[in-house]
Amino acid sequence: NRRRLVLWFPLNPRFIFLLSLTVVSSSFGFYLPGLAPVSFCEEKSKGDAEECQLFVNRLDSVESVLPYEYDAFDFCKDTNERRPSENLGQVLFGERIETSPYKFSFKADKACVKVCTKSYDIGSSEDKLKLDFLKKGMELNYQHHWIVDNMPVTWCYIVEDGQKVCNPGFPIGCLVNQEGKPKDACVINADFNKKNTYYVFNHVDITIFYHSGDETNGMHARLVAATLEPQSIKHSNDENPTCEGAPMDIPADFKSNLKVTYTYSVTFKQNDDIRWASRWDYILVSMPHTNIQWFSIMNSLVIVLFLTGMVAMIMLRTLHKDIARYNQMDQEEAQEESGWKQVHGDVFRPPRMGMLLSVFLGQGTQVFIMTFITLFLACMGFLSPANRGALMTCAVVLWVLLGTPAGYVSARLYKTFGGENWKTNVLLTAFLCPGIVFVDFFMMNLILWVEGSSAAVPFGTLVAILALWFGISVPLTFVGAYFGFKKPGIEPPVRTNQIPRQIPQQSFFTKAMPGIIMGGILPFGCIFIQLFFILNSIWSHQMYYMFGFLFLVFIILVITCSEATVLLCYFHLCAEDYHWWWRSFLTSGFTAVYLFVYAVHYFFSKLQIIGAASTILYFGYTLIMVLIFFIFTGTIGFFSCFWFVNKIYSVLKVD
């Protein structure tokens, strides 16, 4: 009876229903870390915040890969500066959030409030350096990034076709060059007309929208949007500014003393049409890429359906008939057959450099599982843009914890290939690919350190990453390798001949290199549109939020890599070329080469990056992405072919 009672609880449908109902009901009061709503009221009370704290983040530019902290520029600083705690992802992405001197109370409108005045003396070399750095920032169109209630303060403006665009950043200033041509934000004001002159945006009109809440239920007001309008104003009275006058111009030549007064105005507006849960929508709607995304998805689905039809035809018709006819023949007639059936004695011959292949496949398994779980969590909304740095933190933590599958797969395949140097295999699995990535990352970080960029990872964080790698990932890899070597290698379904069969003369299309080059085209065709938006989010500092599309494209990429590699593997086996181990890995892995070519095209056609440091950083980080993508796609192709070859030869009757 006791055993029946124990079994009844987990298996009874009523118990499952009640458990599900409990979980669902409890989720209504659950908020993700950093995403819990904050209530505001006019009079400070318990659990509510009266002051609206404005935070400042790093400044970046589309013309430079080097971001800088807010304090690197000579702006007004908070006297009681403090930094909120940052997760690993924020540190790796170079986010540096700190409090600002822009302080205001909820529903307390203010007009033309002075923040500070910055003076520049012509006789001070330090002031000259500060002003030159500010001018360089305006010349390269560096952008402020301000935050209120974990929400970006956006600059909304109308573009040429009448569409409203909201940018989660606004420029620090702009430049009118020597020819009198305004650059970047200088085109918005006709008063910016002096040649060879900088205009600094030293005044902002901030508008904060709030939902009034429901006082009967004890719900106070919540902030639902924050916008601003940057302006350049030369204040006639620095002590009592009126925020009226000509633009604040800074000549290119520093020949006289200069004062820049920073001011702000803030207005609170009630808007009950926007709910707190959907307060990011006005930013995301201004990014009109949904139609392009659906076009990309439909294009990829057509490719997948085509490949699926081809594979189904091969598997269900050609292979089925070939196997049935071969099994009905006697031994003499079977020896006269040609094609994939004649290489059954060589198809499972261990490949050359099996050690390196097994290491790549172990690392590829680790990357595949990490990517799948990360995208799934992002698709479910756990890694939204509001939860800053969560995506990178999740990916790094998952990679560290997935050392066991990497060690197991690498050891098991290496043993299948007949390898005996198990110590070398384990060490290479734990250190080869992560070591290459870390060395590249460290070299890029040295450049960031030299340039004084905020994206430079602190030494303590590098030590923490190494501790995660050596203290958790490496031991888990050893554990996985132990269980992998403990088990016997994967037994092939047919015997391998002692003497290798001679491979006949191959046509151009069945040679290795043309097949590998053609194999990467279809998978890349499924992802290149999505790749454009990913590169935009990384290098053009645009917000990426379409994780549902990304997860769907990920599934399509996996299917396309698998089917394209299986098709080419079948054609090569029909040509009696049994060297399929490395070819299956390189066929789908060659998609990474197309990714690199596209990244080069994106650099020269879409970006306006200037400077040797920014160029080296771009290609250095791109090489990391290409290596990870190469291992990832190559692993998909290999295991697809491995399953395919085992499947067809396991049903082939061979004495």
**What are the extents of the domains in the chain?**
51-284, 290-312+354-494+514-650
The b/e string for 502-516 (b: 16+ C-beta within 10 A; e otherwise) is eeeeeeeebeeeebb
* DSSP bridge partners of 170: 144
Distance CA(510)–CA(515), nearest Å, equals: 6
CB burial of residue 277 (10 Å; 0-12, 13-18, 19+): exposed
Confidence of residue 31 (pLDDT cuts 50, 70, 90): very low
Distance CA(430)–CA(215), nearest Å, equals: 58
Distance CA(389)–CA(97), nearest Å, equals: 12
What are the tens digits of pLDDT across the range 402-427? 999 999 999 999 999 888 888 999 99
Confidence of residue 19 (pLDDT cuts 50, 70, 90): very low
The b/e string for 37-47 (b: 16+ C-beta within 10 A; e otherwise) is bebbbeeeeee
- Number of residues assigned to the chain: 655
C-alpha pair distances (Å), 640 with each of 301, 312, 350, 545, 584? 19, 14, 17, 31, 8
CB burial of residue 467 (10 Å; 0-12, 13-18, 19+): exposed
What share of the chain in percent tops pLDDT 70?
Answer: 83
Strands in 75-221 per DSSP E: 98-105, 110-120, 143-144, 146-148, 151-152, 155-158, 164-167, 170-171, 173-176, 197-200, 203-211
What are the tens digits of pLDDT across the range 603-633? 988 888 888 888 999 999 999 999 999 999 9
Distance CA(339)–CA(504), nearest Å, equals: 11
| CA max distance for the chain | 105
Distance CA(424)–CA(394), nearest Å, equals: 30
Residue 24 CA, chain-centre distance (Å), reads 30
The alpha helices in 208-343, defined as continuous H runs, are 281-284, 290-313, 319-328, 331-335
More confident residue, 68 or 3: 68
More confident residue, 24 or 131: 131
Most confident of 67-71, 279-283, 363-367, 645-649: 363-367
**How many other C-beta atoms lie within 10 A of the C-beta of residue 340?**
25
Q: Are 510 and 335 in contact (CB under 8 A)?
A: no
Residue 23 pLDDT greater than 80, yes or no = no
Lowest-confidence segment of 3-7, 320-324, 602-606 by average pLDDT: 3-7
Q: How many helices (H) and strands (E) does the chain have?
A: 20, 17
